[in-house]
A and B are shown apart, each in its own frame.
Chain A
Amino acid sequence: QKEVEQNSGPLSVPEGAIASLNCTYSDRVSQSFFWYRQYSGKSPELIMSIYSNGDKEDGRFTAQLNKASQYVSLLIRDSQPSDSATYLCAVPPRGKSTFGDGTTLTVKP
């Protein structure tokens, strides 16, 4: 079983819509959860960190964490074409890769 699983993409939404990206993790010990954005041909960029159950908002981005269900999600409100990228979910590395394979989001004008 992979450490982190993301819902398979690609995901396409119209401009202005809400994009919902989901992730589950297998290790109940994990305390920190991260979302990275990776544009094509570029390196990943950390956009959200979440450590406690509930929601964390940062501008148009909201991360949601449910430790009981081992589930973390990222909502992007008012999606823009510039949000088109691959989004990677991650937990802290402990000797092995702890990134999901990513979900590619396309926001259509």
Chain B
Amino acid sequence: DGGITQSPKYLFRKEGQNVTLSCEQNLNHDAMYWYRQDPGQGLRLIYYSQIVNDFQKGDIAEGYSVSREKKESFPLTVTSAQKNPTAFYLCASSIRGRNNEQYFGPGTRLTVT
């Protein structure tokens, strides 16, 4: 089955620790995205990547880092510099082109205490 996987589904960390969220897709999509969603809020773009070895900051990149070493993978690291890391993190991918329909993974719910 083609799709996007994110792991783990739930993640708990202590304040001050870095944590890496996994995102893998086997849809052969070129572009991948990371969003953050807070309760009752819309989606805010953290980082996105149109091709391997290239990525750009979105609205709220501070305190986050990414890498895109393989087409299939786009991991997100939440660093200790991120002031309010507790949120629902969503990874998406799309085919490059004018349509840009995005398909989402199931998400990772991160809780930092």
Contacts and interface: CB of A to CB of B under 8 A. Distances in A.
A49 B99 CA distance: 9
Contacts of B1: none
Given A32-B98, A44-B90, A97 B104 contact: no
A46 B45 CA distance: 17
Interface in A7-64: 31-32, 34, 42-46, 49, 51
Interface string B32-67: 010100000111110010000000101100000000
Contacts of A81: none
A101 interface: yes
A104 to B, nearest CB: 9
B101 interface: yes
A95 interface: yes
A34 B101 contact: yes
Contact of A88 (B42, B105, B106): B42
A97 B90 contact: no
A88 B43 CA distance: 9
A43 B90 contact: yes
Contacts of A96: 45, 58-59
Contacts, number: 58
B104 A45 contact: yes
Nearest to B60: A97
Interface of B: 33, 35, 41-45, 48, 56, 58-59, 90, 98-107
9 contacts: A31-B98, A32-B100, A45-B104, A46-B101, A46-B103, A49-B99, A96-B58, A99-B43, A102-B42
Which 8 A/B pairs are nearest by Cβ-Cβ distance? Answer: A92-B100, A101-B42, A43-B104, A97-B45, A99-B43, A43-B107, A97-B44, A97-B59
Given A32-B101, A90-B102, A97-B44, 7 more contacts: A31-B98, A43-B104, A43-B107, A44-B43, A44-B104, A92-B98, A96-B45
